[in-house]
Structure 1
Amino acid sequence: MNSSNPPVKHHYIPKFLLAQWAVNEGKLWRYLQPIPGKMVTKLVAPAEIGYEEHLYATPGLPPEQTQQIEQLFMSPLDSLAADAHQLLLAGKVQNMPQRERSAWSRFIMSQWFRTPDSLRYFKEAMRLALTVRDDALNARYAELRQEGYPESLEAIVEMMGPEFVEQTAMGLLRKMSDDPKNGLRLNNMVWAVIETSGGREFLISDAALHQGNSGIFSAQGYATLPIAPRKLFVAASSPTTVQQIRALARNDLVSRNNRAVVRRASIFVGATDLSQKPWIEENFGQEENDTLIKGLVEKYRTTFAETGVSA
């Protein structure tokens, strides 16, 4: 049952993860860049960072159902992931119960889609997918169309209105974040938590999840996620890849991860202190975050360009 007072702050980086950096009387340093070249820093509580109001709201539904993705999916997902996170922090990565291991896999999958940037691309991909003309599919529809039905599939989508696209996107977001095939693939990967000491700490951002250039499920694939200032979660397709990551000098490992986390950030960076402020200012948002969903959008944009249809 949906709450009569649903939350409006929808966290894409959950509070349980951000809390690991909140070592200053329960607060962490938030780095923002409201305009290029200007960095603003502030101590904030985990509840005040990594969220967007109504991010997962589904338009066009009755008020009591508008927040169902947050209430019935994201919030329970994060609750279970928080339990798995505690086991990872405690060094129990190798003997996690199946329930917690699967919960962590779902959390990792959700990070592919749930950030504001990814969700924006996801909705655009859905709009393009539902708008571009598929001649083969329309030919089949023409064979089955009965008298009084719209003349094309595109006409059906247009009749349903712009909210239909977002409703479809939000429904598919939930399914893809809980895809059993990819969940099993993640469960079967080699997991590790690498702990560091001394030197710089890992940073957190809206682009915290990082994966290798060859793709996470390739033979050399891997994904990393900082789970604390001194701990990095690694999932890899092979033990050799984990060993190679472990073999990196600790300063090199932290620098490589922070470079990805900071240079691909578009909203915020989180840290325990201000020691890396000059470096964060120099590198914040300097690279595009080439996500799976962004690639899908580019594919549909190319389709539009080739067919001469205006997007």
Structure 2
Amino acid sequence: MNSSNPPVKHHYIPKFLLAQWALNEGKLWRYLQPIPGKMVTKPVAPAEIGYEEHLYATPGLPPEQTQQIEQLFMSPLDSLAADAHQLLLAGKVQNMPQRERSAWSRFIMSQWFRTPDSLRYFKEAMRLALTVRDDALNARYAELKQEGYPESLEAIVEMMGPEFVEQTAMGLLRKMSDDPKNGLRLNNMVWAVIETSGGREFLISDAALHQGNSGIFSAQGYATLPIAPRKLFVAASSPTTVQQIRALARNDLVSRNNRAVVRRASIFVGATDLSQTPWIEKNFGQEENDTLIKGLVEKYRTTFAETGASA
């Protein structure tokens, strides 16, 4: 049963992760760029960063069901991931119980889709997928449809109402964030936590998860995620890749990770202090975050343009 007073703040970067940077009386420094060239910094509690109101709301449902993705999926997912996070911090990455290892894999998968930018791209991909005419599918539908059925698949989508696309997208978001095949692939990767001492700290942002250019599941694939100011989680397809990342000089490792995290940020950057302010100001949001979902949208946009269909 859903709560009669469901939460409206939906965290895409969960509080348990942000809390590791909250070393200033329970607060971390939040960097925002409300307009290009203007940086605003403020100490905030983990509850006041990394969220968007009604981010995972599903329109067109009864009020008590609107927040079901947050209540029944994201919140439990983050709760289990928080337990796994504690084991990673404690250095128990190699003997983590299966329950926690799978929970952490689901959390990593959710980061592919759940940030505001990724979710907007995801919804657009779904809209284009459902509205761009597919002649092969329509031909098959024409063979199977009975008397009184709508003339085309596009007509069916139109009959379902304007909120059908978002409802479908949110349902698929849940399934893809808990995909058994990819979850098993992540579970079977080589995991490590690299700890640094001295020098600059790892930063966190709305683009905290970083993947290698070859794709996470390729032979040289990997993903990294800062899990504390001086701890970096690594998942790689091979032990060799983990060894190569471990072999990087401390300053090089931190610099490479922070460059990806800060330059791909579009909403916020989080830090324990203001020591990296000039560098953050120079690099904030300077690169596009080329995610899998963004690539899918661009593919559908191309198809849409070629067919000349109207969405």
Question: Could you tell me the TM-score, scaled by structure 2's length?
Answer: 0.99
- CA–CA distance in structure 1, aligned partners of residues 174 and 308 of structure 2: 32
Following TM superposition, by how much is the alpha carbon of 1:182 offset from its aligned partner in structure 2, in angstroms? 0.2
- Counterpart for residue 171 of structure 1: 171
Following TM superposition, by how much is the alpha carbon of 1:309 offset from its aligned partner in structure 2, in angstroms? 2.1
**SS of corresponding position for 1:95:** coil
Does the 8 Å CA contact 2:131/2:310 hold for their aligned counterparts?
no
- Counterpart for residue 214 of structure 1: 214
- Counterpart for residue 10 of structure 2: 10
Does the 8 Å CA contact 2:21/2:271 hold for their aligned counterparts?
yes
Superposed CA offset, 1:207-250 (max 9, x none): 00000000000000000000000000000000000000000000
**SS of corresponding position for 1:31:** strand
Following TM superposition, by how much is the alpha carbon of 1:148 offset from its aligned partner in structure 2, in angstroms? 1.6
| Structure 1 unaligned spans of 5+ | none
**SS of corresponding position for 1:93:** coil
- CA–CA distance in structure 2, aligned partners of residues 248 and 147 of structure 1: 67
Following TM superposition, by how much is the alpha carbon of 1:306 offset from its aligned partner in structure 2, in angstroms? 1.3
Does the 8 Å CA contact 2:113/2:173 hold for their aligned counterparts?
yes
- CA–CA distance in structure 2, aligned partners of residues 134 and 306 of structure 1: 12
Higher mean alpha-carbon deviation, 141-150 vs 167-176, is at 141-150
Following TM superposition, by how much is the alpha carbon of 1:159 offset from its aligned partner in structure 2, in angstroms? 1.1
- CA–CA distance in structure 2, aligned partners of residues 243 and 144 of structure 1: 55
Superposed CA offset, 1:118-164 (max 9, x none): 00000000000000111111111111212221100000101111200
Higher mean alpha-carbon deviation, 258-267 vs 136-145, is at 136-145
Following TM superposition, by how much is the alpha carbon of 1:2 offset from its aligned partner in structure 2, in angstroms? 0.6
Superposed CA offset, 1:252-281 (max 9, x none): 000000000000000000000000001101
- CA–CA distance in structure 1, aligned partners of residues 98 and 151 of structure 2: 50
Does the 8 Å CA contact 2:13/2:51 hold for their aligned counterparts?
yes
- CA–CA distance in structure 1, aligned partners of residues 149 and 103 of structure 2: 44
Does the 8 Å CA contact 2:81/2:103 hold for their aligned counterparts?
yes
Does the 8 Å CA contact 2:210/2:260 hold for their aligned counterparts?
yes
Following TM superposition, by how much is the alpha carbon of 1:310 offset from its aligned partner in structure 2, in angstroms? 3.5
**SS of corresponding position for 1:162:** coil
Following TM superposition, by how much is the alpha carbon of 1:308 offset from its aligned partner in structure 2, in angstroms? 1.8
- CA–CA distance in structure 2, aligned partners of residues 249 and 258 of structure 1: 14
**SS of corresponding position for 1:69:** helix
- CA–CA distance in structure 2, aligned partners of residues 129 and 162 of structure 1: 15
Following TM superposition, by how much is the alpha carbon of 1:50 offset from its aligned partner in structure 2, in angstroms? 0.1
Superposed CA offset, 1:35-82 (max 9, x none): 000000000000000000000000000111100000000000000000
Higher mean alpha-carbon deviation, 209-218 vs 142-151, is at 142-151
Following TM superposition, by how much is the alpha carbon of 1:6 offset from its aligned partner in structure 2, in angstroms? 0.2
Does the 8 Å CA contact 2:206/2:265 hold for their aligned counterparts?
yes
- CA–CA distance in structure 1, aligned partners of residues 299 and 245 of structure 2: 32
**SS of corresponding position for 2:42:** strand
Superposed CA offset, 1:69-123 (max 9, x none): 0000000000000000000000000000000000000000000000000000000
Higher mean alpha-carbon deviation, 266-275 vs 133-142, is at 133-142
- CA–CA distance in structure 2, aligned partners of residues 68 and 153 of structure 1: 28
- Runs in 1 of length 4+ with deviation above 3 angstroms? none
- CA–CA distance in structure 1, aligned partners of residues 91 and 144 of structure 2: 58
Superposed CA offset, 1:7-36 (max 9, x none): 000000000000000000000000000000
Question: Could you tell me the TM-score, scaled by structure 1's length?
Answer: 0.99
- CA–CA distance in structure 2, aligned partners of residues 143 and 220 of structure 1: 45
- Counterpart for residue 101 of structure 2: 101
Does the 8 Å CA contact 2:132/2:310 hold for their aligned counterparts?
no
Superposed CA offset, 1:171-214 (max 9, x none): 00000000000000000000000000000000000000000000
Q: What percent of counterpart residues are identical? A: 98
**SS of corresponding position for 1:4:** coil
Does the 8 Å CA contact 2:28/2:272 hold for their aligned counterparts?
yes
Does the 8 Å CA contact 2:32/2:41 hold for their aligned counterparts?
yes
Does the 8 Å CA contact 2:201/2:229 hold for their aligned counterparts?
yes
- CA–CA distance in structure 1, aligned partners of residues 81 and 140 of structure 2: 44
- CA–CA distance in structure 1, aligned partners of residues 96 and 143 of structure 2: 53
